Amino acid sequence: MFRASPIDRLRALLAAAILALAACSNTELPPPPPPADALEGALAIIAWPGYIERGETDKRYDWATQFERDTGCKLSVKTAGTSDEMVSLMNQGGYDLVTASGDAALRLVRGGTVQPIDIAKVAGYDTLDARLQEAPWHYVDGKHYGVPYQWGPNVLMYNTRIFKKAPTSWSVVFEGGKFPDGKPARGRVQAYDGPIYIADAALYLMAHNTALGIKDPYELNETQYAAALALLRSQHPLIQRYWQDADAQVQDFTKEGVVVSGSWPYQVNTLIARKQPVASTIPSEGATGWADSTMLHAQARHPNCAYKWLSWSLTRKVQGDVASWFGSVPTVPAACNNNALLGAGGCKTNGIDQFGKLHFWRTPEAACKSQGSCVPYSRWATDYVAVMGGR
């Protein structure tokens, strides 16, 4: 049998190596992986109506287009009318960010739906109102789960032809009777279509039934909770509609004979711009309010674009423009100054001086600070559906 000599074997190995090198020289190497901070080119956000504008309604209000030009991150925006809808959409997945109010934020945190925010990567975080930087609805267990975006009151909106003077109490939506024009309240009142509205009833009872001992409208024991539900059931015959769509409420005040309701500054501003006879006030009992934070999904597909948006959302011009359009208050106080759209008195008009009078939306939890235990949000959600159904 023929056996190759050591020299022959070495020559064969060298020949094989030369062929392999030649083959490699004709083969493209795989591209290197993208940098960890590379922008993904897209960003999907769930937002309240009016929170992200691109000039389609009014060319002056556009803070989406410049962001897309600067970053290459194309925005996809899904509007939602209630916090429950936002939580449901986030739980379904496929979104990167949500502009969550306090009654959604804790549910998203407790459910593991959102992830902590690295505020070191959010330019301008230190310019935020100090009262909001570690607010309890987004700062949980020593971690930041949201970047404050805008805040404002749930105002009492009323028809100025019916109410020549601003109502001084929420009794106009809870107690019924006759309005100043001599006609019954029944069918001319609206209430919010969301379980968190139970807190509005509790806030009213804090002032008008002090024996209940309510200290926090989001922390109710069984007796206090039952009283709030009873008030809402007695209100039911007055209600023309439980609203959740801001545009639908605008139409109802324009064409459907509704004259008074809890509302947002957004609807008030829209109706005034359309020359409708409306105004708003915060009655003597105070008001609930919303302080919205942009939160990052735990499985966000475009985290780098998301962090770019978080920083963009805190720039002074964006903050001021959003406040002007929505009727809200910037979370960056400096945005109240020198904004052409907001104007010199815009923040005062939108309620910046009312911060201390507001009870900001917060997810009710069984463990509560004001008393031993409280009725959790799951009960609020079930029972309020029954209230709206007249049960």
| 221 and 309 assigned to the same domain | no
How much is the average pLDDT of 269-296?
95
The answer to the question of residue 112 being in a domain is yes
| 316 and 340 assigned to the same domain | yes
**What confidence score (pLDDT) does residue 239 get?**
98
Range of the domain at 147: 42-152+290-360
**What confidence score (pLDDT) does residue 269 get?**
87
* 292/101 Cα distance (integer angstroms): 4
| 344 and 384 assigned to the same domain | no
| 229 and 116 assigned to the same domain | no
| 313 and 248 assigned to the same domain | no
The model's pLDDT over 98-132, given as tens digits with 9 standing for 90+, comes to 999 999 999 999 999 999 999 999 999 999 999 99
Terminal-residue alpha carbon distance, the chain: 100
Q: In terms of DSSP bridges, do strands 278-281 and 155-159 run parallel, antiparallel, or are they unpaired?
A: antiparallel
| 245 and 377 assigned to the same domain | yes
- pTM (predicted TM-score): 0.84
Q: Which residue has the higher pLDDT, 388 or 28?
A: 388
The answer to the question of residue 18 being in a domain is no
| 379 and 261 assigned to the same domain | yes
What percent of the chain lies above the pLDDT cut of 70?
91
How much is the average pLDDT of 312-332?
97
C-alpha angle 251-257-263 in degrees, rounded to nearest 5 = 55
Whether 24 shows a pLDDT value over 60: the answer reads no
What percent of the chain lies above the pLDDT cut of 90?
84
Tokens of 15: 């020949």
| 259 and 372 assigned to the same domain | yes
Pick from 170, 324, 353, 363: nearest CA to 262: 170
The answer to the question of residue 11 being in a domain is no
Mean pLDDT of the chain: 92
| 147 and 173 assigned to the same domain | no
Pick from 138, 45, 129: nearest CA to 53: 45
**What confidence score (pLDDT) does residue 23 get?**
52
| 341 and 370 assigned to the same domain | no
| 320 and 378 assigned to the same domain | no
The answer to the question of residue 89 being in a domain is yes
How much is the average pLDDT of 152-164?
97
* 100/102 Cα distance (integer angstroms): 7
Q: In terms of DSSP bridges, do strands 147-153 and 287-297 run parallel, antiparallel, or are they unpaired?
A: antiparallel
CATH number at residue 375: 3.40.190.10
Output the CA torsion sign for 196, 199, 158, 386.
positive
* 351/319 Cα distance (integer angstroms): 15
How much is the average pLDDT of 277-292?
96
| 229 and 377 assigned to the same domain | yes
Whether 77 shows a pLDDT value over 50: the answer reads yes
Whether 178 shows a pLDDT value over 70: the answer reads yes
The answer to the question of residue 213 being in a domain is yes
**What confidence score (pLDDT) does residue 1 get?**
45
The answer to the question of residue 120 being in a domain is yes
Q: How many domains does the chain have?
A: 2
* 82/305 Cα distance (integer angstroms): 25
**What confidence score (pLDDT) does residue 2 get?**
43
Whether 21 shows a pLDDT value over 70: the answer reads no
Whether 31 shows a pLDDT value over 80: the answer reads no
The model's pLDDT over 365-374, given as tens digits with 9 standing for 90+, comes to 999 988 889 9
How much is the average pLDDT of 166-174?
98
